[in-house]
Amino acid sequence: MPLFDDESNKRIRYHMKMRGHPNYISNEMSRFTLEQISYHWETFLNPQLYHVQMDDKTYKVKSLLRRKLSRKLD
């Protein structure tokens, strides 16, 4: 199951459009850290991203990094 569901993605997009900084979002969505929200925005949700096709090795490395960074820090 993904860390960010559709509802979380909608909230992040809305708050980034309205406020422009993930700091505010992490205060309202306390189950995610600032780092998780920032990474998710920069990697997946930002509408200015250019998505290119990745080969298998690149995909595996990025997936491992994503999983490592998506764990909530205590």
Tens digit of each residue's pLDDT (9 = 90 or more) over 32-42: 889 999 998 88
Residues 6+ apart with CB under 8 A from 5: none
Query: Which string of b and e fits 29-42 if b means at least 16 CB within 10 Å?
Result: beebbeebbbbbbe
Give yes or no for residue 74 having a pLDDT over 50.
no
Q: Does residue 1 lie within any of the structural domains?
A: no
Look up the domain containing 27 and give its range.
6-70
Backbone angles phi, psi at 30, to 5 degrees: -70, -15
Q: What average pLDDT does the structure give for the chain? A: 80
What distance in Å separates the CA atoms of residue 38 and residue 46, rounded to the nearest whole number? 10
How many domains does one find in the chain? 1
Quick check: 54 pLDDT over 70? no
Residue 53 has pLDDT above 70, yes or no: no
Domain-located, residue 58: yes
